[in-house]
Amino acid sequence: MALPTPNPFRPGAGRVPPELAGRDALVSEVQTSLDEVVHEGEGGRPVIISGLRGVGKTVLLNEFVRTAQDSKRWIAIKLEAVAGNSLQLPLARAIHQELRSLMTTGEVAREKLMRALAAFKSFQVKVDPSGTYAFGFDVEPVPGIADTGDFQQDVFDLLDQLGRTARDLGMGVLLAIDELQSAPKSDLNALNVALHNLGQDPRPVPVSFIGTGLPSLPSVLSDATSYAERLYDYRTIGLLEDAEARDALAHPVERRGIVWEPAALDEALQSVGGYPYFTQACGKHVWDVSTGTTITRPDTLIGIQKARDEVDRGLYMSRWDRATQAQRAMMKAMAEDDDRPSAIQDLVIRLGKSRTSDLSVSRKELIKSGHIYAVDRGFVAFTVPGMADFIRRRIGDLESRIGD
């Protein structure tokens, strides 16, 4: 008999895993500082969480936002930066949605939100004058607040007014931005300056900021504003330790009264290599092929193969297919370093070029398309764990596709 449905594992983007493995310490530290912000009515240090693709940044960010919303003590605003687009419009939409929902669920009385609503209106009128941002009653903008059209000034005013409103209500403001490395440099500068200025008040308003993004995010923020290095509390998340990946695979299964045969679990662990996204893909496929109350090694081997095929096609092959021939050649040269950063100097030699500038176009384009990121000056690395392994494993196959 097949295992019970629904399948507990959740491969995909931002899908809540059945077990949030290996993040307890980080979650509890960030949560403690968020709790302090509400408790003291005073803003804390903004936080940046960075990591490779598929390690669980969105899941974590959503977890903080959800906890904040459930506690009913936060004005929680979440948005995602999209390359080439300003943060202004998504910010306006996210604030509108949150203010509306606070009012319509009756959690906060309309009069108590008036200051925030008016500041929002001033901001919105500048950012998206033709947009519809109804609250069910008229809200007048306040002249002189968040309406200069200069994002740096306006985002400061807006967060300041939201923060003051929150303080009056015994609440906090949580601003959460995913994929922050994709935001335009000028917006990042505006955000840095606004957060910096908010933090300089002797009693900063209770605004918390969490930004998530690729490992390049800290340097992207520093490029936008030099003091960003000291402004944020930088955290990184990576692959799971063995014991954590074991929990990620075993706990969801055990909670359904099913067990892994020890050899089967070892096999699965070896195949996922601590990559959170793989734990879900592997768990899902193994669950799908298993029967009875014990997951056996033969079933696990079939599930692993199915997971690998799916991930190869979905995650890796699609990236490979999107690259030009020159970009593929550069990725192939990078694959020799496995998941370690590659020195551009070494790539120049491997590719039989004479100067680093010979690779600058491919490098720039691969960074732009999100295949690779600049680690340090002169070094690049893949944004997706396991890309190097994929290229090496499938090299013959891939070469026959060149020119497709």
Task: Choose the one of ligand ATP, Mg ion, none that binds residue 21, judging by a C-beta under 5 to 8 angstroms depending on kind.
Answer: ligand ATP
| C-beta atoms surrounding 396 within 10 Å | 7
Segment near Mg ion (CB under 5 A), from 55-63, 250-258, 339-347, 379-387?
A: 55-63
Q: Which amino acid is at 112?
A: K
Q: Where do contacts with ligand ATP occur on this chain (CB under 6 A)?
A: 10-15, 17, 19-23, 51, 53-59, 248, 276-277, 279-280
Q: Which two tokens stand for residue 369?
A: 């398309």
Which residue number places its CB atom closest to ligand ATP?
56
Task: Choose the one of Mg ion, ligand ATP, none that binds residue 280, judging by a C-beta under 5 to 8 angstroms depending on kind.
Answer: ligand ATP
Q: Residue 359: name the closest of 345, 373, 371, 372 by CA.
A: 345
Whether residue 210 contacts residue 43, with contact meaning beta carbons closer than 8 Å, is answered with no
- Compare residues 241 and 376 and give the one whose CB is closer to ligand ATP: 241
Cis, bond preceding 6 (omega within 30 deg of 0): yes
Should residue 153 be labelled a site residue for Mg ion when binding is judged by CB under 5 A? no
Those residues whose C-beta lies under 8 Å from the C-beta of residue 27, and which sit 6 or more positions away, are 20, 60, 63, 64
- Compare residues 40 and 310 and give the one whose CB is closer to ligand ATP: 310
Segment near Mg ion (CB under 5 A), from 52-60, 73-81, 223-231, 284-292?
A: 52-60
Segment near Mg ion (CB under 5 A), from 50-58, 288-296, 329-337, 365-373?
A: 50-58
Task: Choose the one of Mg ion, ligand ATP, none that binds residue 172, judging by a C-beta under 5 to 8 angstroms depending on kind.
Answer: none
| Least Å from the CB of residue 62 to ligand ATP | 8
3-state secondary structure of 77: strand
Q: Which two tokens stand for residue 336?
A: 């020799």
Question: How close are the terminal C-alpha atoms of the chain, in Å?
Answer: 43
- Compare residues 205 and 304 and give the one whose CB is closer to ligand ATP: 304
Q: What angle do CA 207, 209, 211 make, to 5 degrees?
A: 170
Task: Choose the one of ligand ATP, Mg ion, none that binds residue 371, judging by a C-beta under 5 to 8 angstroms depending on kind.
Answer: none
| Least Å from the CB of residue 249 to ligand ATP | 9
Q: How far apart are CA 158 and CA 150, in angstroms?
A: 12
| Least Å from the CB of residue 37 to ligand ATP | 24
- Compare residues 56 and 141 and give the one whose CB is closer to ligand ATP: 56
Count of alpha carbons within 13 angstroms of residue 394, beta-carbon side: 21
- Compare residues 225 and 279 and give the one whose CB is closer to ligand ATP: 279
- Compare residues 277 and 287 and give the one whose CB is closer to Mg ion: 277
| Least Å from the CB of residue 15 to ligand ATP | 5
Q: According to CB under 5 A, which one of 58, 67, 152, 369 is a site residue for Mg ion?
A: 58
Task: Choose the one of Mg ion, ligand ATP, none that binds residue 51, judging by a C-beta under 5 to 8 angstroms depending on kind.
Answer: ligand ATP
CA dihedral 9, 13, 15, 21 (to 10 degrees): 70
- Calculate the alpha carbon distances from 377 to 206, 247, 374 in Å: 37, 37, 7
Between β-strands 259-260 and 294-295, what pairing exists: parallel, antiparallel or unpaired?
parallel
Q: What angle do CA 339, 16, 277 make, to 5 degrees?
A: 20
- Compare residues 203 and 251 and give the one whose CB is closer to ligand ATP: 251
Q: Whats the size of the chain, residue-wise?
A: 404
Q: How far apart are CA 252 and CA 233, in angstroms?
A: 32
Which residue number places its CB atom closest to Mg ion?
58
| Least Å from the CB of residue 11 to ligand ATP | 5
Structural element, H or E, at residue 50: strand 47-50
| Least Å from the CB of residue 283 to ligand ATP | 9
Task: Choose the one of ligand ATP, Mg ion, none that binds residue 1, judging by a C-beta under 5 to 8 angstroms depending on kind.
Answer: none
# binding residues, Mg ion (CB under 5 A)? 2
Give the footprint of Mg ion on this chain (CB under 5 A): 57-58
